[in-house]
Structure 1
Amino acid sequence: MPVLSIVICTLDEHEAIDSVLSELGEHLQDIQHEIIVVDDSSDERTGDAVNAYAAGDPRIRLVRRYNANGLSSAAITGWDLSKGKFLAIMDGDGQHDPSLMRGLLDKLACKDVDVAIASRYLDNSRSGLPGLRHILSRTGIRLTDTTLGIPMADPLSGCFAMTRDWYMQARSRLSGLGFKILIDVVASGPRLPRMAQIPTVLRARAGGASKLDTRVIVDLITLLIEKRTHGRFRAESVMHGATICATLVAQWLSASILLTLACPLRITLLLSAGLGLAGHLWIKYLMTSRSLRPHSLRDFARQWMGFYASRWSDLPLNAGVAITLCTLHCPWPLAITAGVLLLEAHYHTTDKGRVVA
């Protein structure tokens, strides 16, 4: 039975994973451990590299996920399969020093510690991140501090360890959303965990690319809302609400412009319904991880046309409701709102809506 189970979540990090596994093996030679690599890569190169290394070390396992994305859900997948007394996570791109695992394990050896964290800002304000990413990291930390009030120097850390007992207490409340799994872990238990921290600075990335994009920011904000409200506002519901708001704003704005240009009301409502779909698609694009976004203009156009083809019935349904209400002397902004809300309710309660919405 392993003492320590380390989950490494990878996304196109074939260049770095071999050296990360090698360093971990060196630092944990005298500790019974297992390493579970959960791979969401777009191709098989990272998985092939892990399997090649694992051929000489049975303590290493590969879990390959397809059409899945997000470090948090990948971490939960790995921890659910683990057998160790203590559970840990670190990146597979070489930025986390594998020697940190021993320091985290030493902290957990104390009976009054549930979660041990490798914190970038414990001793000083340096993080090892370049300018803009450092600023965004510090901003995210302040936002987390203000929202949750949990005393951590680095709540956005991706390198930490915890007891299995704490994980089991928090498991049922984990949202598995996005890339900031530490916030999810410490805010999902029946009480605040007893925490210990050790200092660290990120190393240069040996492979892969930064995961920071608009989806990561959206995930962080919605996760904080979910945890702050104790699950009353689920992150998925907040994102769905943002999509509806984007659709409404696009439709209101386009209708206002068209009416100012003396466009007939019925044509205005029909055209604005189409432009409202554009707002819906755009906010979905911002909420999609970079790795899953179209990578060329041709792919983007194909996705755009596929979206409109799948939701062509929105136009007569949305505009039809709005036109009917306007004939009953309802103000057009309220008529548009009713059309959008009825439309989203329709898609939310159908299999079609769950696939494409």
Structure 2
Amino acid sequence: MAGEDARAASLPAHLSIVVPCYKEAANVRPLVAALDTALVGLSWEVIFVDDNSPDGTAGVVRDVASVDPRVRVIQRVGRRGLSSAVIEGFLSSSASIVAVLDGDLQHDESALPAMVRLIAHDQADLVVASRHVEGGTNAGLANAWRRWLSNSGIRAAQALLPYPLSDPMSGFFAIRRDLFQSLLPKLSGAGFKILLDLAMSAGRDMRVAEVPAVFRPRLAGESKLDVVVLLQFAMMIVDKLCRGYVPTRFVAFGVVGLIGVAVNLGISTAARIAGFGFSKAQTVGTIAAIFADFWLNNTLTYRDRRLRGVRMWGGLVVFTLACSLGGIANIGVARMAYATFHHWDRSSAVGAVIGVVWNYAIASTLVWR
């Protein structure tokens, strides 16, 4: 840094760029260099929020920060999730404008000056770097499947937003920090699409602008966009529609519970067809539902607390043993219902619901604490 750049770097940051990241070690130095080129003359800082990446992402950021005071890192241990990472990054900044940029080099950092100008000149409160306005492109999406996921989310979000927004699935935007602070109590902090969370929380009064952005192909690391992200996106929409009265995690657990009920009914019916008696068939269905519930909750409901390796197997043992007590109640209630109503499917469903309620209590207090 020299001359104008050195003077800008010595001033309090006017712009903070928050970079949520996981396993992006190879992209840290190129991203900082790209920001240095794009933001000439601006006082800025970049805050990497790393979810304890096993590839040493946080260590690489510290190495860069040791020679560049504009760079710092928040290393989170025991918690994960893009939206919550962005929130923590925002809260660690005192800059008047805060931007979010992915750590994979796919976002075009050269759009930042135009985004900053719109907010600094009081022409917008939130500026989105859009792939779907003239001059923008989503060519960096790896394949047709990822484009379908992205476009499906966009259509769903546009139907719910109180104002037009061409790219509500964008992960690249800038916002006035004081506005973010005022919206913080309304944010769910769940999932991967913090922009939609902000937009739906703000309502019609927020002034929104868009600038074109090129979404570039990924050069290193791996994409985090998958069907689980889309499911979390859908649950966040449900959370916003319910105005926060129904927590996102409870919605997810309820969906998993319904799947568990279906697994229980399907397996127990198959066992009955195979010649099992009612009690044995219900037992087999209950065991299958326990395993399905654990896997789905570990993958979806508690993705930010996901158990891995030895901890996953330990969690499965605790979940299975504890849920076995619920399974006993499941079978007992189902047998009583069957003795009363003599209806196989309804009796199985009653028992399965009892098991789901018990499983939720176990999951919340013992497994994913």
Please name the residue that 1:338 is paired with. Answer: 350
Measure, in 2, the Cα distance between the counterparts of 1:96 and 1:267: 55
Please name the residue that 2:89 is paired with. Answer: 78
Measure, in 2, the Cα distance between the counterparts of 1:232 and 1:169: 19
2:109 aligned counterpart, secondary structure: coil
User: Which of these residues, 309, 316, 329, is aligned with residue 317 of structure 1?
Assistant: 329
1:103 CA drift (Å): 1.4
Matched ranges for 1:202-213 at <5 A:
202-213=215-226
Cα pair 1:8 1:75 within 8 Å, conserved: yes
Q: Does 1:329 align with 2:341?
A: yes
Q: Does 1:224 align with 2:233?
A: no
Percent of aligned pairs with the same residue? 27
Unaligned runs of at least 5 residues, structure 1:
none
Q: Deviations over 1:155-178 (max 9, x none)?
A: 011110000121022110111111
Please name the residue that 1:105 is paired with. Answer: 116
Unaligned runs of at least 5 residues, structure 2:
1-11
Greater shift, 299-308 or 73-82, is seen at 299-308
Cα pair 1:14 1:207 within 8 Å, conserved: no
Please name the residue that 2:46 is paired with. Answer: 35
Cα pair 2:298 2:306 within 8 Å, conserved: no
Measure, in 2, the Cα distance between the counterparts of 1:269 and 1:124: 59
TM-score when normalising by structure 1: 0.90
- The code of the aligned residue for 1:200 comes to A
Greater shift, 202-211 or 334-343, is seen at 334-343
Q: Deviations over 1:240-294 (max 9, x none)?
A: 1101101110111122222233321121222221122133134335526599586
Cα pair 1:89 1:161 within 8 Å, conserved: yes
Measure, in 2, the Cα distance between the counterparts of 1:112 and 1:154: 19
Measure, in 2, the Cα distance between the counterparts of 1:351 and 1:217: 23
User: Which of these residues, 271, 274, 286, is aligned with residue 273 of structure 1?
Assistant: 286
User: Which of these residues, 5, 15, 21, is aligned with residue 10 of structure 1?
Assistant: 21
Q: Deviations over 1:203-238 (max 9, x none)?
A: 222322100123201111111122233334432222
Please name the residue that 1:263 is paired with. Answer: 276
Cα pair 2:191 2:229 within 8 Å, conserved: yes
Greater shift, 207-216 or 329-338, is seen at 329-338
1:87 CA drift (Å): 1.0
Measure, in 1, the Cα distance between the counterparts of 2:216 and 2:16: 23
Cα pair 1:3 1:85 within 8 Å, conserved: yes
Matched ranges for 1:283-302 at <5 A:
283-284=296-297, 286-287=299-300
Q: Deviations over 1:33-65 (max 9, x none)?
A: 221110014325211110010011112111001
TM-score when normalising by structure 2: 0.87
2:336 aligned counterpart, secondary structure: helix
User: Which of these residues, 223, 228, 232, is aligned with residue 215 of structure 1?
Assistant: 228
Measure, in 2, the Cα distance between the counterparts of 1:77 and 1:351: 26
Q: Does 1:246 align with 2:270?
A: no
- The code of the aligned residue for 2:122 comes to K
Measure, in 2, the Cα distance between the counterparts of 1:150 and 1:226: 19
User: Which of these residues, 99, 102, 106, is aligned with residue 88 of structure 1?
Assistant: 99
2:357 aligned counterpart, secondary structure: helix
Measure, in 2, the Cα distance between the counterparts of 1:349 and 1:284: 13
1:332 CA drift (Å): 3.3
CA RMSD of aligned residues (A): 2.7
Cα pair 1:40 1:66 within 8 Å, conserved: yes
From the superposition, tell whether residues 346 and 277 of structure 1 become closer, same or farther in structure 2 (CA, over 3 Å).
closer
Q: Deviations over 1:92-137 (max 9, x none)?
A: 1111122222111011123241100100011168312132212221
Measure, in 1, the Cα distance between the counterparts of 2:34 and 2:204: 35
Q: Which runs of 4+ in 1 moved over 6 A?
A: 298-303
- Pairs aligned (count): 355
From the superposition, tell whether residues 67 and 203 of structure 1 become closer, same or farther in structure 2 (CA, over 3 Å).
same
Please name the residue that 2:73 is paired with. Answer: 62
- The code of the aligned residue for 2:113 comes to R
Please name the residue that 2:199 is paired with. Answer: 186
